[in-house]
Each structure stands twice: as C-alpha cells, then as structure tokens.
Amino acid sequence: MIEAAAPTYFRLYVWERPVRAFHWVNATAVLALAITGFVIGNPFRMAYAAEAYQQNWFGTVRFVHFAAGWIFLVAFVARIYWGFVGDQYARWRHYIPHTRWQWREIVEVLRIDIFQTKVSGEFSSGHNALAGLTYSVSFLVYAFQIATGFALYASMSDAWVPSLFVWVVPLFGGDAGVRFWHHAAMWFFILFTMIHVYLVFYHDYVEGRGTTSSMVGGWKFARVDTLTAPDQSDEACEPDEPAESG
C-alpha cells in the first residue's frame, strides 16, 4: 500500500552562525523599533505625575528607539559585509536574480507556492529565487528607514553617522515629510513580518524540511529523491553528511 522504501534525507547546513545572529538581532531591533516608533508617533496618556521632573517615560521610549536604531544599522552593515564573504546561501548572488535559472525559479515559485496552479515541486535549499529577491527589496527599505531615521536623528545628535544623512531632508521638503515617510515605511515591516512568518510555516507544513527550526540550528533537510533543483551557485551544493539514522 505504502511506497516501500523510506526516503533518505540529507542535512544541509544553510544558515551560518553570523546569518542566524543577524536574523535574530535584526528581528529584535525591528520589534523594538516598531513598538517604540508607534508610541513616539502616538504617545498614550500616562500622566501619573503632574510635574515634568517626576517622570521621563517618553524620553526613555525615544532612547530605546534610538539605541535600537543604532543596533539595526550595525546589523544591517554587518549583514551586507557577510553577503560578500559568507557561504553560498549568504552571498549576494543568492539575493539578486541575475541568471536565467533564477528568473525561471521565480516563475516556478509563483506557480507552485503562491498561485498553486501547480501542485508539487521543491526549490533551492537556501532561499528560493523569489524569496531572495524579496529580501533584496526589503534591504532597500531597511536602507530607506535608516536614511530617514538618522536624518531625523541628526538634528539631536552631534555624532558623525547621523550627519551623513542630512542631505535626505531637502528631498522630502523638510523634517515633516521625512517623518511622514519614516512612519509610513514602518508598515512595510509589519506586512513583511506577517507574510514572512506565514510563509515559513507554510513551507514547513507543506515540504517538511525544517524551515522553521533552520533559523535556530542552521539545518534544513532535503530528500535525496526530490533534490531536483541543484543550486546554480558557483560553488556546488554538496550535501555534506547523510541524515543520522537514529
């Protein structure tokens, strides 16, 4: 009744330690930034004191936002660096579609996963080409958020880095315009997070390759018999060790 031979799985080490570290530092920073940013944009009533010297909660919220912004910036720069020195799954090539094969995979992902006009098929073990492209776009939004955020921050800081972004302000007419777009761009992160988490669960559920846990341990799994789409990176994808049997 059931196909006799149990499938053989390979363990693939797809997310190196710096990649995982970036992911969680970034996730934490984004969470902190979004929550504090929301509060800064629309502070709630918290007047348990009558005099200003008796409390400083709004100042604290802003401090957390700025501190998280710095962490976000450093993580962003570090991740871009790793995109040039990391392994094949972390390399920039994985994120920018520049080969026919990658564009074909994007179409395939749309057919199989998004619109589901095709039922079965599996993709590259790291990010598939569409996911890679999505992350590239999201990095542009990160850059936008860093530029607008630090441009606003420049007026209250003497530090060198924020002063690099003062040229941003005239592009938006003034701080009011920068503030508006900085605030509006936050919604990208909210939508991104919703869709990102959903798709992680989706892939784990449909494919059973350990997508969710891969960002903790770094491992994904690939069935030998369905490992049809070889990674077209310059370094060949060598599944290094067979699955442990028990």
230: contact with other proteins by CB under 8 A: no
> 31, 74, 156, 216: which one contacts other proteins (CB under 8 A)?
156
Nearer to other proteins, 58 or 81 (CB): 58
Contact (Cβ atoms closer than 8 angstroms) between residue 67 and residue 60: no
171: contact with other proteins by CB under 8 A: no
All residues at 6 or more sequence positions from 210 whose CB lies less than 8 Å from its CB, including other chains? 204, 219, 220, 221
Number of residues that bind other proteins (CB under 8 A): 63
> 187, 212, 216, 228: which one contacts other proteins (CB under 8 A)?
187
164: contact with other proteins by CB under 8 A: no
Residue 100's CB is within 10 A of a number of other CB atoms, namely 9
159: contact with other proteins by CB under 8 A: no
238: contact with other proteins by CB under 8 A: no
42: contact with other proteins by CB under 8 A: yes
> 28, 64, 183, 204: which one contacts other proteins (CB under 8 A)?
183
- Shortest distance, position 56 Cβ to other proteins, whole Å: 6
194: contact with other proteins by CB under 8 A: yes
240: contact with other proteins by CB under 8 A: no
- Shortest distance, position 32 Cβ to other proteins, whole Å: 18
Residues that bind other proteins (CB under 8 A): 2-9, 41-43, 45-47, 49-59, 61-62, 114, 116, 119-120, 155-156, 166-167, 169-170, 173-180, 183-184, 186-187, 190-191, 194-195, 198, 202, 205-208, 242-243, 245-246
